[in-house]
A and B are shown apart, each in its own frame.
Chain A
Amino acid sequence: MNILTELGYFFTDPLMQRSLIAAVIVGVAAPIMGTYLVQRKLSLLGDGIGHVALTGVALGWIVGAGMGLVERDALAIPGAVVAAVIGAVAIEFVRERGKTSGDVALALLFYSGIAGGVVLIGLAGGTNANLMAYLFGSISTVTTLDLFMIAALGVVIIAVGVGMRSLLFAISHDEEFARASGLPVRAANIVIAVIAALTVTVSMRVVGLLLVSAIMILPVAVAQLMTASFKTTMRVAVIVGVIVTVGGLMITYWVPLSPGATIVMLAVLAYTLVAILKPLFATKNGRGHDPHPDVPDDVALEGVQGALTKEGASCNE
């Protein structure tokens, strides 16, 4: 009954080993992609893609059933990948045009994704229960085949997200400047959309489509509380991501809770704790200085002229 033997069971259980690997991959990959989404103010994009991916899951199911596969949901992940990529690229085109009607177009896409998935799974002879595993995650049922797919997609996401960081940062930070620099803005935007779609499908088995955005965005939100630069935000977000996914998984090994929801609640808890504790450490991480931006006054006051010329003087250094 001691903790070490319990941990021993946890780490030697093949089921848990698969789940653990999947959790670590998602914990690393999702926050990397989430950092770009938060920077582009597209925090909810993951949700939208998740909705669309559900139709892909159902289509994969139908195709799998049609081919007479033993594992009827073997094609669920490939189906979700295809649907999510198409959906993400469609969203990117709507975003690029920037029309107000785009908002409604996105809503149409999202809801048809969820409803389409439910209808299609019914036509294929399945029930909503079959979809629950995808909506809320079922990390404990990850098969070896699933794990290979998750690992392969995870490698692609991490390679692009880290390897192309400076380019993706430049384009996400100031798209107009990127255009004026001759950077391939449109191609890079599509890369981001596609990688975001892959992240959604990878995270689907772990936290579920309905919570997929949370594992992409919440670690970044936690990191933002502690960091000042883009680079460190991404690094800290990955650390937080791994801690909450692995931590959530371990908790649910002993306590019968939904792993996906537990992971997300851990991330929320991390955010709350950091937000509360942050003021206590303010001076330690150099944030304890005057929070007001260094802006000259816009009113002239007798005797404090120095403040007005501070800006002008500092440039002559």
Chain B
Amino acid sequence: MSTDTILQATDLHVTLGASHILRGINLSINTGEVVAILGANGSGKSTLIRALTGIVPATSGQVEAFGVPMGKFVPWKKIGYVPQRVAATTGIGSTAGEVVTSGLLYGGRLRLPRDHKARAHAALEQVGLDARFDTPLANLSGGQQQRVLIARALVREPELLVLDEPVAGVDRPSQVAFAQTLAGLVETGKTIVVVLHELGEFRPLITRSVVVRHGQIVHDGSAPAPTHDHSGDDHDHVHPHEGFTPEGSALIQETGFES
């Protein structure tokens, strides 16, 4: 394995309950790449990213991060994960600052560093929300909450950023803002793996697209054209149709492969 491969899955299978979700994934991601993982709902793309970050254990096969098999010895500081959506607001309110600060803890570092406050402020600054440091998460919009989660991933200054459908259910202005934030991160040389339902605003940033279907990788390379009937009965639209697009073209816009 070459030295600049930072994430590698070898014959990865994942079974959850009775479902064989991932069926033999081989994937390696190199430093500096901006990889989009695409696929329909239920294709296994989210499970793939969850297996790559150690949230879901591999049933068979192997995942290596920075050349280390998934587990205790992975250099967790180098990985920043951004979940699909904010965990349903928990019983106790927590401020944006508290949430971001929790990103300073990772495998091998179970106590906050001395300068945790300054670092949390800096991370929130990066996503343009430093003024909201003391605002409860529940008082922020969906898009702002998403940016807080990005700050939580960035606060430990990772080399690899893994994002699971960052714009699902997020309004269009936030999507545009988010693409700009991501572009800034690409410029700083971070490696990015992002699960997307549609390329949309991200199209110019993506250097490689991986398409997952029925738990297998069916395409790995440049951005693909849509190959299935996006408006067919079997297509389950869960993302919002919030774009301020002219009437009639919304569906095409939402595929993200046009426009």
A174 within 8 A of B: yes
- The contact of A228 among B101, B134, B142, B144, by CB within 8 Å, is B134
Between A and B, how many residue pairs show CB distances below 8 Å? Answer: 152
Q: Interface residue tally of chain A, by bracket?
A: 35 or more
Interface residues of A in 167-199 (CB under 8 A from B): 167, 169-170, 172-177, 179-184
CA distance A38 to B144 in the complex (A): 25
- The contact of B90 among A172, A231, A298, A308, by CB within 8 Å, is A172
Instruction: List chain A residues, Cβ under 8 A from B1.
Output: none
Q: Tally B residues with Cβ within 8 Å of A.
A: 58
B106 within 8 A of A: yes
The reply to whether A40 and B90 contact each other, CB–CB distance below 8 Å, is: yes
Given A166-B112, A176-B83, A182-B54: A312 and B173 within 8 A (CB)?
Answer: yes
- The contact of B98 among A35, A40, A231, A310, by CB within 8 Å, is A231
Which of B5-13, B33-41, B175-183, B185-193 faces chain A?
A: B175-183
CA distance A314 to B101 in the complex (A): 22
In the complex, residue of chain B having the shortest beta-carbon distance to the beta carbon of A167: B110
The reply to whether A181 and B94 contact each other, CB–CB distance below 8 Å, is: no
CA distance A173 to B79 in the complex (A): 19
A295 within 8 A of B: yes
Given A174-B83, A228-B95, A230-B93: A166 and B176 within 8 A (CB)?
Answer: no
A288 within 8 A of B: no
Given A170-B102, A315-B128, A315-B180: A183 and B139 within 8 A (CB)?
Answer: no
Q: Please list 5 pairs of residues, one from A and one from B, whose beta carbons are closer than 8 Å in the complex, sorted by A's number.
A: A183-B107, A184-B107, A228-B93, A228-B136, A310-B173
Residue positions of A touching B, CB distance < 8 A: 35, 38-41, 43, 164, 166-167, 169-170, 172-177, 179-184, 220, 224, 227-231, 233, 293-296, 298, 300, 308-312, 314-317
Q: A177-B103, A182-B107, A183-B107 are in contact. List 6 more A-B contacts (CB 8 A).
A: A183-B105, A183-B106, A184-B107, A230-B93, A293-B141, A311-B171
Residue positions of B touching A, CB distance < 8 A: 50, 53-55, 72, 74, 76, 79, 81, 83, 87, 90-95, 97-99, 101-108, 110-112, 127-129, 131, 134-136, 138-144, 147, 152, 162, 171, 173-174, 176-177, 180-181, 240, 242, 244
